[in-house]
Amino acid sequence: MENILSRSPLILAALLLVGCTEIFGPGSGDATVRPVARPDVQAIAPPADATTAAQFDTTTDAEREAAKTTSTANAEVMLGRTIASLGNPANPGFWLETPLVSGPKKGRIVDPASGKSVSVDLIPIDGPATAGSRISLPAMRLLGVSLTGLPELIVYAG
């Protein structure tokens, strides 16, 4: 079999693609890790030809102001700290995919370096609580952190 594979790159490529489908499944992804739209945010997908952060960020000024507003009506619980990287910029809205929650929740994230905070949807992902998180592009922009950086965030639920 090794001779056949070494002589035919097309066969090797086909086997690798089939293997990826077997490992990750078609469309690989679990619906539970997708951002859930906030009722106060009408998430609009970015245009297909988006190339800049401003083009990918389809939130309105009103939505950004609402996300910056911190409600003290509900008691918050600090879930912990996480290192976050930019999530899929094509997924609109304010969200954090994190292993710090076991189910979807409303929450707030704080950049301890600046003190800025953003209200977000907390979306569970697999992994230990010490694993990193993925943050939406609009949330990163509101926090004022580098889109290519790995900011440490404090995560609150409630």
User: Within a 10 A sphere around the Cβ of 142, how many other Cβ atoms?
Assistant: 24
CA distances from 14 to 11, 29, 46, 62 (A): 5, 22, 33, 49
pLDDT at residue 67, as a whole number: 82
The Cα–Cα gap between 55 and 52 comes to 5
**pTM (global) more than 0.85:** no
Residue 54 host element (H or E): helix 53-56
The larger pLDDT score, comparing residue 84 to residue 67, is at 84
The larger pLDDT score, comparing residue 8 to residue 154, is at 154
Q: Looking at this protein, which amino acid is placed at residue 109?
A: I
pLDDT at 17 over 90: no
Domains of the chain: 54-157 (2.40.40.10)
Mean pLDDT of the chain: 78
Tokens of 88: 């899929």
The Cα–Cα gap between 119 and 114 comes to 16
Where does 12-158 show beta strands of DSSP type E?
77-86, 95-98, 105-110, 117-124, 133-135, 152-157
pLDDT at 126 over 80: yes
pLDDT at 8 over 90: no
Note the pLDDT tens digit of each residue in 33-47: 344 444 444 578 888
